[in-house]
Structure 1
C-alpha cells in the first residue's frame, strides 16, 4: 500500500536504497579518515600500526569525493526519475547490474588503498603509481555509472515517445542533464585510466605522458563539481518549494540554468592547470572565461530561489522588505539543512572565482586554501543538501515517518556540522593565505617564518574535524533510525508544482540535439588545438601518450 501511494514499487525503492546504503557507509569511513588527517597535521597524533598519512588522505578523498557522492546521487536520481516517468522491469534489472559493477569496483580500489598499494591521493597524479587493481576498480565504477546513465536516457526516450509534444517532468529533465554531464565528463578520466594508467601499472608501458594524464583528469575533474552540485539544485528548485508551501518560480528558468551548466561546466579544466607548463596561455585564458560563464546559471538559481521564497511569504500575508523571511520553516530540518547549504554557497562561490582567476590563483595554488574551498562547496553546500534530502527521501523509500524527535536531532546535527565546517574551512582558508601547503602531513615546517602562523590554524582544523566527526556519528545514527526503526507510515515525496501564471516553457529548451551539439562544439573548441599541441610538444621520440619519468 505504501509503494502504491508513493508511485514507486517496492523493487524501485530497494534499488535507490542500495545506493544510499553504500553512501552512508562511505560517510562513516571517509569521515574517520578526515578526523585522523586533522589530528596528524596538528602535530599531536601519530598514526598507529604503521599506517601512512597518505593512505588516510587517499581514502578520505576517494571515498567521500567519489564514492559517497556518486552512489547517493545515482540513488536519489533513480528515485526522482522513477517517480516522475517510471521504470520498466528490464530497466530495473539492468540498473542492478550497474550497481554491482560499481560496488565491485569500489571494493577493489578501497582494498588497494587500505593495503598501502595506492597512496596516490584523490587526483592520482603520475608519476605516483598505484596497484593495477586500483585503476581497474576506478574503471569499473565509471562503467557501472554509465549503466545508470543509459538507463536514465532510455527512460526519457521512451517517455517522450509516448508523450509527443508534451513537456517532460522537470525533475526527469534535470536528471538526464546531470547524467549527460557525467557521461561526457567521465570520458576523459576513463581514457586516461584505460589507455595510460592501467597499461603502465601492469608493466606493459614503461612511460606515461604526465601532462596528457593531468589534462584528461581535469577535463573530468571540474565538471565533477557540477555533477555533485546539480542534484542539490534539483532539490532547491523542485523539492524545497513544496516543503515551504510554495510553487516553482519558473520551470523555464530552471531548465535554462541546467542547460547552461551542461554547456559551460565541461570545457573549463585548464583553470585547474594554470601553473602547468606546456599549455598555451591563450587557451588557459579562454577556459578561464568559460569558467566565469558558469556564474550565470548560479546567479539565475539564486534569483529563482529567493524570488520563490518571497512570493510564497507574501501570499501568506507577510509584509515589509524582509517579512517573507519569517514564513520560512526554520524548524523543519528538510528545509533548514539545505538552506544552510545555500547560504554557504555564497562564500564558496566567491572562493571559486578566486581559484579560477589567474593572478589570484597564483597566490593560493597548492595551498590548503583550496582544500578549504572544497570543504565549503562539497562538504557544506552539497552534503548538507544531501542530508536535508535524506530526512524525507529515506523514510519515503522505506515506508517510515520523520518523527519530531528525529527532526530535532537533525536540527542539532545541522548546527554541529555548520560549526565544525566553519572552523575547519575557515582555518584552512587563512592558513592557505600564509602559504600552508595542501596534500602534506608536514604542515608546521619548523624553522620557516610562517611556521608560527600555520600551527595555530592546524590546531583549529583538528578542533573543527573533531566536531565534524561528532556530526557524522549523529548523521549515521539518524540514517539508521530513519531506515530501520522510525514508526511505519506514509512520508511525503515532496515534488512542487509550477506557479499557475508562469510563462509557458519554450520547446527549444528540450531540443536535446541542439544542447548536446553545442556542448560538444564547445569542448572541441576548448580542447582540440591545445591537446594536439601537448602531444606535439612531447619529448622527441616519445609516443603520444608516453612521457619519460625515470624510476619515480
Structure 2
C-alpha cells in the first residue's frame, strides 16, 4: 500500500496547484452568478462595476486559471504516482512554475478587478488592457512551461532508469498534453509579448488586429483539448480501476492521444471563418483538420464503452445493455466522469456545427457558442475534474472518502448536471433564435428586442443559481476532505491493461517522429496565412508595417 502512495513532498506541490484552482473556481462562480442575473434583467451592478468586468473575471478565472492550475496539480500527482517521486530539481522546477503562474494570475486578476482589463478572456485588440494584465498572462504561460518541463524531466528519467520498457500510459498522456500546450502557447505568448504588451506601454502606436486574433486562435482551440485530455486521462486510467475493470487497449489509448496532439493545434482558423484577410482555401484546410479530431474521439468512445461492457459481462450481465446495471452508479468518482462523457456527445456535435462553414454562419457570435463552451469545459471537463477530486484530494491529504462525503458528491454531481442542462440548453436555443453573446440585458437594443429572449435568460439565471449551489456544496466537501475526514488511505486509481490487449508498437512512443509531423502540419496550416497577413498589413502613421 505504501508503494502506491505519492510522496508527501510531491503531494504538497500538487495540493498547492489544486487549492489555487478551487479558489479561482469559487470566485469565478460568484462572477458567473452575477452575470446570469444581469443578463436576465434581475440585477443592476452597483458601484460602477461593469458587466464586461464581471464577464472577464468569470472567463479568465474559470476558462484559464481554474483549468490550468487543476491540470498541473493533477498531472504532478499523476507523474509522481506512476513514475516515482520527483527529484529535488524536478520538484523545485514545479514550485518555481507554481510561483510564476500564481504571481501572473494575481497581476492579471488585480487589473481586472480594478476595471483596467475588461477585455474578456480572449483579450481581443483593439480592446486594450493595462500592461500589467498582459504581463501577468505572459507569466502564467511561462510558468506553465516550467512546470511542464519538470514533468518532462520525470518522464525522461523514468525511461533512463527503465530502458527498453514501455512507459506508464498515464505518464505518456501527461507528456502528450504538455507538448500540445507548449506548442499552442507559443502563438499567444508571442501575441502578448510582441504585440499587446508594447502597445499597452505606448511603445508602438497600433497593432495588426488580424494577426493578433490569428495568434490567439492558434492557442484558443488547442486550449479546448488541453482541458479535455486530462479528463480523458481520468476516463482511460482511473475510471476502469474504479469499476473494477481494466484498460481495453494501451495502444489504442496512445494512438488517440497522438492524434489529438497532431490535429488540435493547426486548426485555429476555423474560429475565424467570418473574418476577411485570410484566404478561404486556408480556412477550408483547417476545417478539414478540425474534423479529423472526430477520429480519436470515436476511438476513445469505443475503448471506454468496451471497457464498461467487458466489466459488466464479468459481473454476469446479459443482453445488449445489461452491463449498464452493473456499473457503480452510487460512486461519485464514477458518476461525475460518466455524466461528463455523456455530455461530450452533444458537445462534440455542437463543435462540428461551430467548425462548419455554412452552419457557423447561423450561430456565429450568438450565445449558442457560449452554450457549447458550457457543455464542453463546464460540463464534460469540470464534472470529470470533480470526480477526480473525490479520490485525488483524500489521497493527497491522507484521509478517507467516507460514505457521507461520497453521498454529498453524488448530490453535487446531480445538481451540476441539472443546472448545466438548464443553462446550456437555454443558451443553445436562444442562440438559434439570434440572441447575441457577450451582451447584457440592457445592451440588446431596446426592451422590445430583449423580451424576445427573456424567458431563456431567466432559465439561464435558474440554471446558474443551481450551479452556484453546486459550487458551494463542492467547497463544503473540499473542506471536509482537507481537514475533517478520518485519517486513512484513499488510493489514486490506476488501471492495468487488459490481458487480451495487443503489445503496444514502439513507434507510438517515438516523440521525435510525432513532433516532426506536428511541426510540418503547423507550417502547412499557418506559414503562408501569417506571411500574407504581415505582408499585407497597413502602414502606420510613421510609414512602417503594423505587424
Specify the SS of the correspondent of 1:239. Answer: helix
Equivalent residue number for residue 311 of structure 2: 312
The question of 1:77 aligning with 2:75 is answered yes
Specify which of 2, 17, 25 is matched with residue 19 of structure 1. 17
Specify the SS of the correspondent of 2:163. Answer: coil
Determine if contact 1:372/1:428 at 8 Å carries over to the other structure: yes
- Quote how far apart the aligned CAs of 1:93 are: 1.2
Equivalent residue number for residue 108 of structure 2: 109
- Number of corresponding residues: 544
For residues 4 and 253 of structure 2, the distance between their equivalents in structure 1, rounded to whole angstroms, comes to 25
Deviation track 1:141-181 (CA, whole Å, cap 9, x = no partner) reads 01110001111111112211222211000000000000000
For residues 8 and 233 of structure 1, the distance between their equivalents in structure 2, rounded to whole angstroms, comes to 21
For residues 118-197 of structure 1, what are the structure 2 equivalents within 5 Å?
A: 118-197=117-196
**Which consecutive unaligned segments of at least 5 residues does structure 1 have?**
547-552
Which segment drifts farther, 228-237 or 158-167? 158-167
For residues 478 and 519 of structure 2, the distance between their equivalents in structure 1, rounded to whole angstroms, comes to 40
For residues 43-54 of structure 1, what are the structure 2 equivalents within 5 Å?
A: 43-54=41-52
Name the CA shift for 1:106/1:296 in 2 (closer, same or farther; >3 Å). same
Determine if contact 1:229/1:382 at 8 Å carries over to the other structure: yes
Deviation track 1:341-375 (CA, whole Å, cap 9, x = no partner) reads 00000100000000000110010000000000000
- Quote how far apart the aligned CAs of 1:83 are: 1.1
For residues 481 and 450 of structure 1, the distance between their equivalents in structure 2, rounded to whole angstroms, comes to 47
The question of 1:354 aligning with 2:353 is answered yes
Determine if contact 1:178/1:227 at 8 Å carries over to the other structure: yes
The TM-score with structure 1 as length reference comes to 0.97
Determine if contact 2:245/2:311 at 8 Å carries over to the other structure: yes
Equivalent residue number for residue 428 of structure 1: 427
For residues 50 and 512 of structure 1, the distance between their equivalents in structure 2, rounded to whole angstroms, comes to 52
For residues 447 and 114 of structure 1, the distance between their equivalents in structure 2, rounded to whole angstroms, comes to 29
For residues 311 and 443 of structure 1, the distance between their equivalents in structure 2, rounded to whole angstroms, comes to 54
Deviation track 1:167-198 (CA, whole Å, cap 9, x = no partner) reads 00000000000000000000011000000011
- Quote how far apart the aligned CAs of 1:483 are: 1.2
For residues 207 and 347 of structure 1, the distance between their equivalents in structure 2, rounded to whole angstroms, comes to 41
For residues 49 and 147 of structure 2, the distance between their equivalents in structure 1, rounded to whole angstroms, comes to 36
- Quote how far apart the aligned CAs of 1:59 are: 0.4
For residues 266-305 of structure 1, what are the structure 2 equivalents within 5 Å?
A: 266-305=265-304
Equivalent residue number for residue 37 of structure 1: 35
For residues 489 and 187 of structure 1, the distance between their equivalents in structure 2, rounded to whole angstroms, comes to 43
- Quote how far apart the aligned CAs of 1:544 are: 4.5
Equivalent residue number for residue 549 of structure 1: none
The TM-score with structure 2 as length reference comes to 0.98
For residues 48-63 of structure 1, what are the structure 2 equivalents within 5 Å?
A: 48-63=46-61
Equivalent residue number for residue 333 of structure 2: 334
For residues 445 and 174 of structure 2, the distance between their equivalents in structure 1, rounded to whole angstroms, comes to 50
For residues 150 and 255 of structure 2, the distance between their equivalents in structure 1, rounded to whole angstroms, comes to 24
For residues 361 and 39 of structure 1, the distance between their equivalents in structure 2, rounded to whole angstroms, comes to 28
For residues 291 and 174 of structure 2, the distance between their equivalents in structure 1, rounded to whole angstroms, comes to 24
**Which consecutive unaligned segments of at least 5 residues does structure 2 have?**
none
Determine if contact 1:444/1:454 at 8 Å carries over to the other structure: no
Specify the SS of the correspondent of 2:441. Answer: coil
Deviation track 1:97-149 (CA, whole Å, cap 9, x = no partner) reads 11011110000000000000000011000000000100000011011100011
Equivalent residue number for residue 99 of structure 2: 100
The question of 1:265 aligning with 2:264 is answered yes
Which segment drifts farther, 82-91 or 255-264? 82-91
Please give the root-mean-square deviation of Cα atoms over the aligned residues, in Å. 1.2
Equivalent residue number for residue 477 of structure 1: 476
The question of 1:68 aligning with 2:66 is answered yes
For residues 544 and 258 of structure 1, the distance between their equivalents in structure 2, rounded to whole angstroms, comes to 40
For residues 132 and 76 of structure 1, the distance between their equivalents in structure 2, rounded to whole angstroms, comes to 31
- Quote how far apart the aligned CAs of 1:204 are: 0.5
Which segment drifts farther, 158-167 or 61-70? 158-167
For residues 290 and 201 of structure 1, the distance between their equivalents in structure 2, rounded to whole angstroms, comes to 35
Specify the SS of the correspondent of 1:168. Answer: coil
Specify the SS of the correspondent of 2:128. Answer: coil
Name the CA shift for 1:205/1:444 in 2 (closer, same or farther; >3 Å). closer
Equivalent residue number for residue 396 of structure 1: 395
For residues 141 and 232 of structure 2, the distance between their equivalents in structure 1, rounded to whole angstroms, comes to 23
Deviation track 1:299-330 (CA, whole Å, cap 9, x = no partner) reads 00000000000011101111111111111000
- Quote how far apart the aligned CAs of 1:445 are: 3.0
Deviation track 1:466-519 (CA, whole Å, cap 9, x = no partner) reads 111001100111111111111110111110000012100000000110111101
For residues 91 and 16 of structure 2, the distance between their equivalents in structure 1, rounded to whole angstroms, comes to 13
Determine if contact 1:35/1:469 at 8 Å carries over to the other structure: yes
The question of 1:533 aligning with 2:532 is answered yes
Name the CA shift for 1:297/1:443 in 2 (closer, same or farther; >3 Å). farther
